[in-house]
């Protein structure tokens, strides 16, 4: 399968191929990572559907979206896994998944599970003034941060949003110098110091390995 | 830009057209125009309190409703809030002089671990607009800071904000500490932030969860009125 296009993943998500026994329904921001794990592990029985990644900025849409997708795809697969953490739904998504009888990823958000929940929690106190990017968000910075926060039209708002932050920490899933440069540039645009931390796929890999 | 033909001259508008125009300008985040409108209404003899409620608060309520309904997103709300703040900057000293109604006092802060402050700032501003005195403790507020401020300020209301699932539980730490010290019933505790809900507010022992700034103002008014009635009766 060719790599899905980021713009589609952001705005509309990804339709499953309709082949396989296990369907992962995940955030569009995790599509490349899940497909990379599928390739690396030879999980031919695993199919992927994604909800629009931009719901990151509208978490109230996530739980209803998952309910709809699970209900729609349920009959065609043996098992469904939800590749989302809480993502600001305030426990709504966990309640929805429990009701539907499907498993989701533990933890508050993708920054935490890429880093590893324990490592992330241990660092939380020291990193309160850090703003995180992942591979997907570094590529899609304009679509997720810059434009929705209105910084393209009103750069003067940068201080209002990021005045309390001092650094950008790039949680890198892959070793990609071009992406590193890009994330560094995002830090510059926000007026923040830059740090790169290689995380790999963290708890996402563990979650899928144990269940796929 | 007076040379621009179709540009409105605000001072030419009668009150009943100027006020809706100010609502539009506020909606569009036009700070200078909002300030100009405030000055014109004051010159025309409006009391500062009337300017605040009918021109600014009413305009910001429209913005808040459209945000709630998904028509506006964060930057539009911020720009409108900045415009309102500029207008309030002129009114604030005058409100003190003219003895505008004082409804009560609130101490507010974003909880420890969380540095989201846009929602909290909006609530503070609308509470001020409604006649509450607000003491803002800022972000990343720990229980000692809350307690210290409560002791110093003796407010009617304690407000806590959290936007992260990881920081929401800290509200309970603060409320439990108040209970342990026998202080819980001295304050009306209001909580808010996008990931919270009513059930969570109840579970941690807050008096109310408020979905948005407008609800916060109404809830605060109702609780303060009840508290005063009880005090009068007791
Ligand atoms: C803007 C934003 C930011 C800005 C914050 C700028 C600032 N100065 O505050 C930036 C971009 C810097 C940011 C950073 C981060 N954010 Co953020 N952010 C948001 C976003 C998009 C909107 C929040 C907002 O400001 N809304 C506008 C205001 C007006 O609404 P509100 O806050 O809900 O407030 C209203 C009501 O809730 C209520 N209210 C609020 N507080 C109170 C208090 C009281 C007492 C009362 C009565 C009422 C009340 O009234 C308000 C006015 O109507 C949300 C997603 C969302 N749509 O909610 C994510 C979101 C909250 N962020 C999130 C995350 C993860 C982060 C980061 C960790 C991300 C990162 N890349 O590093 C950091 C946090 C670092 C930290 N330690 O705090 C997640 C939380 C996920 C989770 N599981 O908890 C969310 C849900 C996005 C997501 N889906 O991942 N963020």
What separation in angstroms does the CA of A103 have from each of A88, A110, B58, B110, B166?
17, 16, 46, 32, 20
H-type alpha helices, B99-194: 118-129, 143-153, 170-180
Residues A31 and A17 in one domain: yes
Residue in A closest to B73 by C-alpha: A148
Band (A17; pLDDT cuts 50, 70, 90): confident
| CATH (domain of A80) | 3.40.50
β-strand partners of A79: A22
Residues A100 and A122 in one domain: no
> Hey, what are A141's tokens?
């910075």
A1 in a structural domain: no
How would DSSP label each residue in B27-84?
Answer: HTT-HHHHHHHHHHHHHTT--HHHIIIIIIIHHHHHHHHHHHTTSS-HHHHHHHHHHH
Strands A46-51 and A79-83: unpaired
Smallest CA–CA distance, residue B227 to chain A, in Å, is: 31
Residues A100 and A127 in one domain: no
Interface test with B, best of A150, A155, A165, A192 (most B CBs within 10 A): A150
From B70, B113, B168, residue closest to A128, measured CB to CB: B113
pLDDT for the residue numbered B2: 44
A16 in a structural domain: yes
Residues A152 and A194 in one domain: yes
Residues A189 and A128 in one domain: yes
pLDDT for the residue numbered B234: 61
Q: What is the pLDDT of residues B181-212, one digit of tens each?
A: 999 999 999 999 999 999 999 999 999 999 99
CB proximity B78 to A under 8 Å: yes
Interface test with B, best of A90, A96, A149 (most B CBs within 10 A): A90
CA distance linking residue A187 with residue A130, whole number of Å: 11
pLDDT for the residue numbered B189: 98
Q: What is the mean pLDDT of residues B25-51?
A: 97
Q: With left for phi above 0 and alpha for psi between -120 and 50, is residue B216 left, alpha or beta?
A: alpha
A132 in a structural domain: yes
A182 in a structural domain: yes
A68 in a structural domain: yes
- Domains of chain B from N-terminus onward: 2-98 (1.10.1240.10), 104-233 (3.40.50.280)
Residues A124 and A142 in one domain: yes
CA distance linking residue B91 with residue A154, whole number of Å: 26
Band (B1; pLDDT cuts 50, 70, 90): very low
pLDDT for the residue numbered B55: 97
From A91, A149, A153, residue closest to B74, measured CB to CB: A149
β-strand partners of A167: A130, A193
Is residue B139 over pLDDT 50?
yes
pTM of the model: 0.92
A28 in a structural domain: yes
Q: How many domains does chain A have?
A: 2
Residues A11 and A92 in one domain: yes
Smallest CA–CA distance, residue A125 to chain B, in Å, is: 7
CB proximity B206 to A under 8 Å: no
pLDDT for the residue numbered A1: 55
How would DSSP label each residue in A148-164?
Answer: TTTTTT-GGGHHHHHTT
Contact: B75, A86; criterion CB under 8 Å: no
CB proximity B108 to A under 8 Å: no
Task: Provide the b/e sequence for B129-168 (b: ≥16 CB within 10 Å).
Answer: bbbbebbbbebbbbbebbbebbeeeebbbbbbbbbbbbbb
CB proximity A148 to B under 8 Å: yes
Closest CA to A145 of A202, A187, A89, A108: A187
pLDDT for the residue numbered B3: 47
Contacts of B76 in chain A (CB under 8 A): 150
How many interface pairs between A and B have CB atoms less than 8 angstroms apart? 62
A128 in a structural domain: yes
Residues A104 and A18 in one domain: yes
Q: What is the mean pLDDT of residues B18-29?
A: 97
Range of the domain at A75: 6-108+201-211
Query: Which H/E stretch holds residue B106?
Result: strand B104-110
Contact: A90, B115; criterion CB under 8 Å: no
> Hey, what are B129's tokens?
């607009």
Cβ proximity of A134 and A182 under 8 Å: no
Beta strands in chain A (DSSP E): 22-27, 46-51, 79-83, 103-104, 130-133, 167-172, 193-198
Share of chain B above pLDDT 90, in %: 89
CA distance linking residue B118 with residue A151, whole number of Å: 15
What separation in angstroms does the CA of B144 have from each of A128, A151, A176, B173, B207?
18, 36, 45, 11, 21
Residue in A closest to B195 by C-alpha: A90
Closest CA to A9 of A23, A33, A36, A29: A29
Q: What is the pLDDT of residues B116-136, one digit of tens each?
A: 999 999 999 999 999 999 999
Residues A80 and A52 in one domain: yes
Residues A96 and A181 in one domain: no
Q: What is the pLDDT of residues A122-176, one digit of tens each?
A: 988 889 999 999 999 999 999 999 999 999 999 999 999 999 999 999 999 999 9
> Hey, what are B181's tokens?
């010290």
Residues A86 and A176 in one domain: no
A120 in a structural domain: yes
Q: What is the mean pLDDT of residues B153-169?
A: 96
Residues A77 and A139 in one domain: no
From A57, A108, A129, residue closest to B166, measured CB to CB: A108
DSSP classification of residue A14 = B
> Hey, what are A144's tokens?
């997720």
Phi, then psi, of B42 in degrees rounded to 5: -65, -45
The size of chain A, in residues, is: 212
> Hey, what are B44's tokens?
């025309």
β-strand partners of B159: B108, B190
Share of chain B above pLDDT 70, in %: 97
């Amino acid at each position: 399968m060719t790599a899905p296009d980021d713009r589609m993943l952001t705005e509309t998500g990804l339709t499953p191929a309709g082949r396989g026994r296990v369907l992962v329904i995940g955030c569009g921001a995790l599509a490349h990572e899940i497909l990379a794990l599928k390739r690396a592990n030879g999980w031919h029985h695993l199919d992927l559907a994604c909800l629009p990644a931009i719901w990151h900025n509208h978490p109230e849409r996530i739980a209803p979206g998952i309910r709809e997708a699970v209900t729609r795809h349920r009959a065609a697969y043996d098992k469904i896994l939800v590749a989302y953490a809480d993502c600001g739904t305030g426990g709504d998504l966990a309640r929805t998944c429990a009701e539907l009888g499907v498993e989701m990823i533990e933890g508050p958000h993708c920054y935490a599970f890429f880093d590893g929940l324990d490592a992330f929690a241990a660092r939380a106190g020291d990193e309160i003034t850090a703003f995180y990017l992942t591979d997907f968000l570094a590529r899609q910075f304009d679509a997720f941060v810059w434009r929705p926060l209105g910084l393209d039209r009103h750069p003067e708002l940068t201080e209002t949003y990021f005045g309390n932050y001092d650094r950008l920490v790039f949680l890198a899933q892959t070793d990609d110098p071009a992406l590193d440069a890009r994330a560094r540039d995002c830090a510059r645009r926000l007026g923040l110091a830059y740090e790169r931390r290689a995380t790999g796929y963290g708890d996402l890999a563990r979650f899928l390995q144990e269940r796929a | 830009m007076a040379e621009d033909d179709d540009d409105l001259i605000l001072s030419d508008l009668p009150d009943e057209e100027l006020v809706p125009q100010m609502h539009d300008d506020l909606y569009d985040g036009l700070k200078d125009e909002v300030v100009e409108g405030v000055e014109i209404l004051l010159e025309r003899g409006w009391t500062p309190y009337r300017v605040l409620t009918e021109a600014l608060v009413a305009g910001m309520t429209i913005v808040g409703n459209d945000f709630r309904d998904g028509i506006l997103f964060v930057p539009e709300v911020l720009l409108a809030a900045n415009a309102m703040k500029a207008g309030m900057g002129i009114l604030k000293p005058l409100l003190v002089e003219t003895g505008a109604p004082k409804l009560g006092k609130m101490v507010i802060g974003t909880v420890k671990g969380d540095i989201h402050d846009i929602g909290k700032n909006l609530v503070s501003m609308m509470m001020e607009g409604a006649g509450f005195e607000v003491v803002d403790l800022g972000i990343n507020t720990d229980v000692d800071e809350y307690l210290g401020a409560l002791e110093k300020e003796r407010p009617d209301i304690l407000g806590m904000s959290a936007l992260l699932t990881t920081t929401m539980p800290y509200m309970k730490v603060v409320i439990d500490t108040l209970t342990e010290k026998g202080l819980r019933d001295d304050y009306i505790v209001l909580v808010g932030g996008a990931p919270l809900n009513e059930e969570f507010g109840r579970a941690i022992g807050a008096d109310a969860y408020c979905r948005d700034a407008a609800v916060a103002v109404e809830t605060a008014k109702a609780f303060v009125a009840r508290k005063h009635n009880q005090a009068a009766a007791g």
